[in-house]
């Protein structure tokens, strides 16, 4: 049984602080980490390795710095890791990234499951898992909280939608997108951290995947950033309960807190 886990390296969300006054955000100071929900996905894959002897392959797209994240996943227990890296891949948008991962997965051969994080904490888009399923023409179940059973060419899982939990059975191969916080991911083994730098990581370019510049041409354009209102402490309001309630609710809405 082969399980593939696509991971994304992002800036540690806890270290990212926007400065609304200067209308800017500095990302470079935050540490580079594996997207937290991708760690939940890796954990689910490693549980399948423990229980069923699944072979776990981690794939990521990015520059040479992403190697560290793949080695960290290996130190957690993954069996192999592949980095997709070149200039064309660096410019790819959501569509191109899904296409590249799909081609790489096809190149690896047969697989049973792709277990992905449901959302990256940086962009909050949640596009990759479903897009990958579409590119490979396989079914997808998102917002998965638990994998109950994998057997007989099927997986039984629990999907959570709006606080309602449903048992879902899906034919394999399939993509499962794991919900944030679905489990407590394990930490890397001390000895494996040292050893993780001893194996050579395959690095595939767009051309290795049979993809041209045209295939990966990005369609999405960034048109700037915007910032929530600046934090001012010590604002105190008095009035009728109704007025205060109205003020509170609009305050929360302005800051996208509800």
Partner 1 sequence: MEYFEIMMGEALEETAYRDILVVAWLEKGEPVPATLEALGKARELADSLGAYVKAVTFAAGEEEARKLTGYGADYVYILQGPALSQYDLEIYAKALGEFIQEHKPEIVLFPAIAPARELAPYLAQKLGAGLIANCTEISLDEATRTVIGAHPMYGGEYFRLLANPGLKPQIVTLLPGYFRPAYYDAYRTGEVQTISVEPVPSRVKTKGPVDFTVPKGLDKAKVVVSVGRGVKGQEEMELVKKLAQALNAELAGSRGAVDEGLIGPDRQVGMSGHQIEPKLYVACGISGAIQHYYGIRNARCIVAINPDPTAPIFKVADLGLVGEVKDIIPAVLKELGTR
Site for partner 1 in 137-196 (CB under 8 A): 139-143, 145-146, 156, 158, 160-162, 164-171, 174, 177, 179, 181-182
Sign of CA dihedral 21, 22, 25, 31: negative
Residue with tokens 């200067």: 22
Q: Which C-beta is closer to partner 1: that of 161 or that of 197?
A: 161
- Least distance from partner 1 to the Cβ atom of residue 29, Å: 13
Site stretch for partner 1 (CB under 8 A), options 37-45, 63-71, 203-211, 236-244: 236-244
What's the CA angle centered on 256, arms 35 and 25, to 5 degrees? Answer: 55
Q: Which C-beta is closer to partner 1: that of 162 or that of 200?
A: 162
> Using an 8 Å Cβ cutoff, are 177 and 116 in contact?
yes
Residue with tokens 């594996």: 34
- Least distance from partner 1 to the Cβ atom of residue 162, Å: 6
Determine if 103 is a binding residue for partner 1 (CB under 8 A): no
How far apart CA 124 and CA 8 sit, in angstroms, is: 12
Determine if 226 is a binding residue for partner 1 (CB under 8 A): yes
- Looking from the CA of 1 toward its CB, the CA atoms found within 13 Å total 23
Determine if 257 is a binding residue for partner 1 (CB under 8 A): yes
Q: Contact letters (x/-) for partner 1, 118-137, by CB under 8 A?
A: ---xxxxxxxxxxxxxxx--
């Amino acid at each position: 049984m082969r399980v593939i886990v696509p991971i994304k390296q992002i800036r540690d969300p806890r270290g990212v602080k926007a400065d609304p006054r200067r209308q800017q955000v500095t990302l470079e100071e935050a540490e580079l980490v594996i997207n937290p929900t991708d760690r939940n996905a890796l954990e689910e894959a490693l549980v399948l390795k423990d229980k069923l002897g699944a072979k776990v392959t981690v794939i990521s797209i990015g520059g040479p710095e992403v190697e560290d994240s793949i080695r960290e996943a290996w130190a957690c227990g993954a069996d192999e890791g592949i980095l997709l890296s070149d200039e064309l891949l660096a410019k790819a948008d959501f569509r191109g990234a899904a296409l590249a991962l799909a081609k790489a997965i096809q190149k690896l051969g047969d697989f049973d499951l792709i277990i992905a994080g449901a959302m990256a904490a940086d962009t909050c888009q949640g596009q990759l898992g479903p897009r990958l399923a579409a590119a490979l023409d396989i079914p997808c179940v998102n917002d998965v909280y638990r994998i109950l059973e994998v057997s007989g060419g099927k997986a039984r899982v629990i999907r959570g939608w709006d606080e309602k939990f449903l048992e879902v059975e899906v034919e394999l191969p399939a993509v499962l997108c794991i919900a944030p916080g679905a489990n407590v991911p394990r930490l890397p083994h001390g000895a494996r951290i040292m050893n993780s730098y001893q194996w050579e990581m395959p690095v595939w370019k767009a051309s290795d995947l049979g993809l041209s510049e045209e295939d990966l041409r990005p369609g999405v354009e960034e048109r700037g950033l915007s910032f929530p209102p600046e934090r001012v402490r010590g604002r105190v309001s008095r009035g009728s309960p109704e007025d205060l309630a109205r003020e509170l609710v609009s305050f929360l809405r302005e800051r996208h807190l509800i």
